[in-house]
């Protein structure tokens, strides 16, 4: 049960009666008893909360940064009207609005209550129950009760880098030859023969075909299709570090490396799917966290965001040996393995470097990492002593990353090290460059 402000007001006002009563002690006892009786009557006359039937409907998926409406249908099968307040409770990061709403359901009817969620984090948000406060006809007291009405909202990665997709797709079309420029070197797979037009590279003239026909014939090339791309997301402790600015909430404490990596992975997946390659996805720290394989080209993105949504960075050291074993077990043929991790010299030296030759000998490995704009800003610091020391520390870390990059390149590994906002386009460019060079 719960009291209302009216009860307190009534009690306070009746103090005036006590002040002028001939028998104040009796007046106090009498008035309080009367108030108690009124409260009890009100409670008895209030509509039952327990008998309410609640149902949910609405969206169950939302992209981070967007709002989603959850509808709650409150049916009142009881004999009395239920009037009062309702609160549809969600975890704080779901940012449910409004927090409490007025409710008025006459006996035997239903009412709809809409709550808008604007989640501030990726992942699954589960409803924390619905609480109804049913005020009696006198407005003095209320019955209160909670119902569990399960519902889960899956908050998907926002895929902010989709703005880069058209530009990268037009680059891809250039490679594929749908654009008029068709020069040798833009692909290595033989496509077709066609007549020579002025401007074609003379080196691409196919003399044998020219001899068979009376025209000069050139070969056209196109990039390879049906190659495999395996995107590997490192979800270990290094992916928990926050860099840049959280694009969803503008939080200056930053966005986890994991989320930036996911963004880059989604752009790469979208691009590779359009380019006709098959994309698989693996999330790994000490064990396999998620594995997407064999999704059709049209479904790939939705399956991937769905798989990514609940993944959180785990505060454990990555098990690179297990990761390489998992990759080798899943990728039978040669493919492009894109590892999204951090270029942390200490972590890589202990983890990935010793097992990298195993992987690099079978697959083409591309390592993509988010660099920290804050460290870059620190390295520029000059003037005061503090800034110079900070700059020295930042330069020390950047040298470590550069040396690690050089060592990885010696192993034949491609490295993309870019600032958060530039990682996705840089990774897409690296992919396109590999494709153009026919290295897939």
Partner 1 sequence: MTPDAPAPSPATGSASPVTGASASPAVPGAPVPPPAGGAASASTSPRAADIWRRWRGTLGVLAVMIVFVTATVVLSQPRPGGYLDPEATAPGGAHALVQLLRDQGVDVRPARTVGEARALAVPGSLLLVGRTEFLADENLLREIDSLPGDRLLVEPVTQALQELAPGVSAGALTDVKSRAPECEVPAAVKAGTVMIGGTSYNPPRGWTGCYNGSLISGAADGRTVTVLGSGEFMTNRRLAEDGDAALAMNLAGSRPAVVWLVPSAPQFQWDGEQASLQDLIPAGVKWAALHLLVAAFLVALWRGRRLGPVVAERLPVVVRASETAEGRGRLYRSRKARDRAAAALRTAALERIVPRLGLAGEVTPAGVVAAVAMRTGQDAQQAGAVLYGAAPLDDAGLVALAGDLDILERQVRDS
Q: How far is the CB of 311 from partner 1 (least distance, A)?
A: 5
> Which residue of 193, 245, 328, 375 would you call a contact of partner 1, by CB under 8 A?
375
Residues 294-323 that bind partner 1 (CB under 8 A): 294-296, 298-299, 302-303, 306-307, 310-315
Minimum separation from the CB atom of position 241 to partner 1 (A): 3
Q: Is 410 in the site for partner 1 (CB under 8 A)?
A: no
Is residue 112 at the binding interface for partner 1, with CB under 8 A as the rule? Answer: no
**Residue 122 burial by CB count (10 A; 0-12/13-18/19+): exposed, middle or buried?**
buried
DSSP string, 164-199: GHHHHHHHHHHHHT-SS---TTS--EEEEEEE--TT
CB of 411 to partner 1, least distance (A): 20
Beta carbons of 54 and 75 less than 8 angstroms apart:
yes
Backbone angles phi, psi at 406, to 5 degrees: -60, -40
Interface with partner 1 (CB under 8 A), residue from 33, 37, 60, 316: 60
Choice between 193 and 393, CB closer to partner 1: 393
Please identify, among the stretches 140-148, 161-169, 195-203, 204-212, the one whose residues bind partner 1 according to the rule CB under 8 A. 140-148
Candidate residues 209, 393, 419, 426; the one interacting with partner 1 per rule CB under 8 A:
393
Kindly determine how many residues on this chain lie close enough to bind partner 1 according to the rule CB under 8 A.
115
Residue 349 engages partner 1 in binding (rule: CB under 8 A): no
CA–CA separation, 43 and 85 (whole Å): 15
- The interface with partner 1 within residues 36-55 (CB under 8 A) comprises 49-50, 52-55
Tokens for 388, please give them: 């110079």
Considering only residues 221 through 240, tell me which ones interact with partner 1, judged by CB under 8 A: 235, 240
Q: Choose between 311 and 440: whose C-beta lies nearer to partner 1.
A: 311
> Which residue lies nearer to partner 1 by CB, 91 or 438?
91
CB 213 → partner 1: shortest distance, Å?
46
Stretch that binds partner 1, among 192-200, 317-325, 358-366, 378-386 (CB under 8 A): 378-386
379 vs 389: CA distance, rounded Å: 9
Closest CA to 180 of 197, 165, 193: 197
Q: Is 56 in a helix, a strand, or coil?
A: strand
Q: Is 15 in the site for partner 1 (CB under 8 A)?
A: yes
With the CA atoms of 344, 261, 269 and 408 taken in that order, what torsion angle do they form, in degrees rounded to the nearest 10?
-10
Does 396 sit near partner 1 (CB under 8 A)? yes
**Nearest-5° Cα angle at 130, 128 to 132:** 150
Give every CB contact of residue 392 below 8 A, 6+ residues apart in sequence: none
Q: Is 310 exposed, middle or buried (0-12, 13-18, 19+ CB in 10 A)?
A: middle
For the CB of residue 143, give the shortest distance to partner 1 in the complex, in Å.
8
Least Å from the CB of residue 139 to partner 1: 12
Element at 292 (helix H, strand E): strand 288-292
Task: Establish if 11 lies at the interface with partner 1 (CB under 8 A).
Answer: yes
Kindly state whether residue 248 participates in binding partner 1, applying the rule CB under 8 A.
no
Going from the C-alpha of 381 to that of each of 58, 216, 389, 391, 400, the distances in angstroms are 51, 62, 9, 6, 19
């Amino acid at each position: 049960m719960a009291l209302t402000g009216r009860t307190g007001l009534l009690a306070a006002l009746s103090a005036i009666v006590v002040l002028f009563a001939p028998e104040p002690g009796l007046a106090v006892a009498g008035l309080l008893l009367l108030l108690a009786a009124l409260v009890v009557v009100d409670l008895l006359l209030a509509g039952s909360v327990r008998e309410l039937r609640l149902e949910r409907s609405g969206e169950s998926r939302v992209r981070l940064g967007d709002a989603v409406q959850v509808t709650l249908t409150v049916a009142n099968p009881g004999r009395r009207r239920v009037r009062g307040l309702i609160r549809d409770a969600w975890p704080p990061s779901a940012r449910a609005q409004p927090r409490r709403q007025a409710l008025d359901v006459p006996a035997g009817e239903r009412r709809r209550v809409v709550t808008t969620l604007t989640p501030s984090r990726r992942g699954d948000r589960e409803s924390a129950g619905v609480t109804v406060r049913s005020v009696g006809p006198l407005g003095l007291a209320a019955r209160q009760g909670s119902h569990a009405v399960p519902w889960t909202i899956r908050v998907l990665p926002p895929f902010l880098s989709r703005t880069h997709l058209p530009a990268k797709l037009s680059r891809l079309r250039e490679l594929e030859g749908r654009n008029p420029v068709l020069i040798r070197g833009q692909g290595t797979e033989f496509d077709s023969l066609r007549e020579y037009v002025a401007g074609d590279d003379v080196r691409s003239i196919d003399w044998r075909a020219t001899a068979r026909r009376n025209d000069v014939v050139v070969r056209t090339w196109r990039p390879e299709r049906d190659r495999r791309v395996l995107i590997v997301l490192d979800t270990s402790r290094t992916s928990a570090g926050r860099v840049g600015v959280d694009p969803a909430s503008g939080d200056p404490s930053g966005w986890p490396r994991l989320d930036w990596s996911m963004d880059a992975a989604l752009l790469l997946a979208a691009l590779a799917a359009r380019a006709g390659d098959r994309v698989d996805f693996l999330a790994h720290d000490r064990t396999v966290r998620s594995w997407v394989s064999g999704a059709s080209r049209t479904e790939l993105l939705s399956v991937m965001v769905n798989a990514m949504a609940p993944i959180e960075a785990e505060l454990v050291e990555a098990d690179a040996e297990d990761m390489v074993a998992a990759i080798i077990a899943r990728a039978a043929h040669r493919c492009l393995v894109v590892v999204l991790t951090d270029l942390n010299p200490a972590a890589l030296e202990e983890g990935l470097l010793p097992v990298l030759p195993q992987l690099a000998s079978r697959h083409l490995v591309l390592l993509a990492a988010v660099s920290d704009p804050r460290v870059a800003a620190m390295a520029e610091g000059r003037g005061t002593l503090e800034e110079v020391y900070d700059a020295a520390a930042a330069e020390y870390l950047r040298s470590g990353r550069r040396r690690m990059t050089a060592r990885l390149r010696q192993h034949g590994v491609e490295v993309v090290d870019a600032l958060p906002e530039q990682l996705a386009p840089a990774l897409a460019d690296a992919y396109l460059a590999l494709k153009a060079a026919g290295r897939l």
